[in-house]
């Protein structure tokens, strides 16, 4: 009671009819560009990591907790001002 070859072929024909051959080809090209871009980014990250002597660049990726708290407070105060106005 599994999927037969005819069911797969019908679904494939419907996909081609709905999206068209050119659109599917464009989509696959975009996926390939994304993969190559990702690989290039990973190579650049590896070369940057090796050039820094293996030290982690964790400091540049930390988030300032005070900035988050202040932005949350400003959102809360903005909501309170809206409530007062209504």
What is the residue range of 27's domain? 21-45
Q: Total structural domains in the chain?
A: 1
- Better-predicted residue by pLDDT, 40 or 84: 40
What 3 state SS string does 10-40 have? HHHHHHHHHHCHHHHHHHHHHHHHHHHHHHH
Integer-rounded Cα radius of gyration of the chain? 26
Regarding pTM above 0.85, the answer is no
Model confidence at 31: pLDDT above 90: yes
Instruction: Provide, rounded to the nearest whole percent, the portion of the chain with pLDDT above 70.
Output: 53
- Alpha-carbon distance 21 to 28, whole Å? 11
Is residue 2 assigned to a domain? no
Is residue 74 assigned to a domain? no
Instruction: Answer whether 16's CB lies under 8 Å from 24's CB.
Output: yes
Is residue 6 assigned to a domain? no
Q: What is the pLDDT of residues 42-67, one digit of tens each?
A: 988 877 666 655 555 445 556 665 65
User: How sure is the predictor about 11, in pLDDT bands with cuts at 50, 70 and 90?
Assistant: very high
């Amino acid at each position: 009671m599994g999927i037969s070859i005819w069911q797969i072929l019908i679904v494939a024909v419907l996909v081609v009819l709905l999206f068209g051959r050119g659109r599917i080809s464009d989509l696959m090209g975009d996926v390939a560009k994304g993969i190559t871009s990702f690989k290039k980014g990973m190579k650049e990250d590896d070369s940057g990591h090796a050039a820094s002597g293996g030290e982690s660049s964790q400091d540049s990726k930390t988030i300032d907790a005070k900035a988050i708290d202040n932005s949350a407070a400003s959102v809360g105060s903005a909501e309170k001002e809206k409530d007062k106005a209504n």
